[in-house]
Amino acid sequence: MARSFVAEARRRVGPKRQRIRPIIERLKAEHADAAIALRFRSPLELLVSVMLSAQTTDVNVNRVTEHLFQKYHRPEDYLAVPPEELERDIYQTGFFRQKAKAIRGTMKLLIEEFDGQVPRTLDELLRLPGVARKTANVVAAELGTPQGVVVDTHVRRLSQRLGLTRQEDPVKIERDLQRLVPREDWGIFPHLLIWHGRRVCLAHAPRCEECVVSDLCPSSRV
């Protein structure tokens, strides 16, 4: 799109700081069921599910963890079996060797330094093997203590389309969103964008005519 049209589109919808609250409120009303798609019953199951979700779908992870969590209940359980057995149990999530190694390293550290409990601060979560910022943000938010904004492919795409950031790097996108999104909405905001991206603002064929924030979006075709 030509630069002049982009500038005109931004003028049409107004400054992003004025748009962010209406965007959040409309998306909350439209996607009242927006929540994490992974199924878990404890902080440990949440952590493992998020670690397994890299490079695969939530549906696939839920299919694997349905049986996995019947077998492994505590950090010690993941260390009580040979690495090859854990690899077989998570094989269908892909990258199973790396994931099994990261899970075993995480369980060892949980036992040695956190009394077997999943920590809730970002700094502590980032110390766990195989836990990068996105994973740590997801876990912290789902445990009720969001300390950042999760940036996945949907969040990246929609925040760019909505004119909330011009960045490409997830860390820089998160920084922009933290400055814009009210802190009390840091946990729910990614879910709203994810569900809106899955249902309406599709990657290749966005349904702008059905979008509740089309008048607030500089990329809208309406």
Both tokens of 164, joined, read 């909330």
Looking at the structure, do residues 96 and 158 belong to the same domain, yes or no?
no
Residue 81 is part of which domain span? 43-142
Looking at the structure, do residues 127 and 157 belong to the same domain, yes or no?
no
Which amino acid makes up residue 33?
D
**Catalytic residue flag (residue 134):** yes
**What confidence score (pLDDT) does residue 195 get?**
97
Q: Which helix (H) or strand (E) holds 188?
A: helix 188-199
Looking at the structure, do residues 121 and 193 belong to the same domain, yes or no?
no
CATH code, 54 = 1.10.340.30
**Catalytic residue flag (residue 77):** no
> Environment class of residue 160 by beta-carbon count within 10 Å: exposed (0-12), middle (13-18) or buried (19+)?
middle
Catalytic residue, chosen from 152, 169, 172, 185, is: 152
CATH code, 175 = 1.10.1670.10
CA distance 76 to 116: 8
Asked if the structure places residue 36 within a domain, the reply is no
Mean pLDDT throughout 210-216?
97
Last residue of a domain, one of 111, 142, 173: 142
Give the torsion sign (CA, 80, 86, 88, 92). positive
pLDDT in tens, 93-129: 999 999 999 999 999 999 999 999 999 999 999 999 9
CA distance 190 to 84: 35
> What's the mean pLDDT when you consider all of the chain?
95
Between the alpha carbon of residue 102 and those of residues 26, 44, 70, 99, 135, the distances in Å are: 39, 14, 20, 5, 13
Residue 190 vs residue 8, higher pLDDT: 190
Catalytic residue, chosen from 16, 89, 99, 134, is: 134
pTM: 0.90
- Tally of domains in the chain: 2
Looking at the structure, do residues 85 and 157 belong to the same domain, yes or no?
no
pLDDT in tens, 161-209: 999 999 999 999 999 999 999 999 999 999 999 999 999 999 999 999 9
In the predicted model, is pLDDT for residue 6 greater than 70? no
Give yes or no for a contact between 113 and 131, defined as CB atoms under 8 angstroms apart. Answer: no
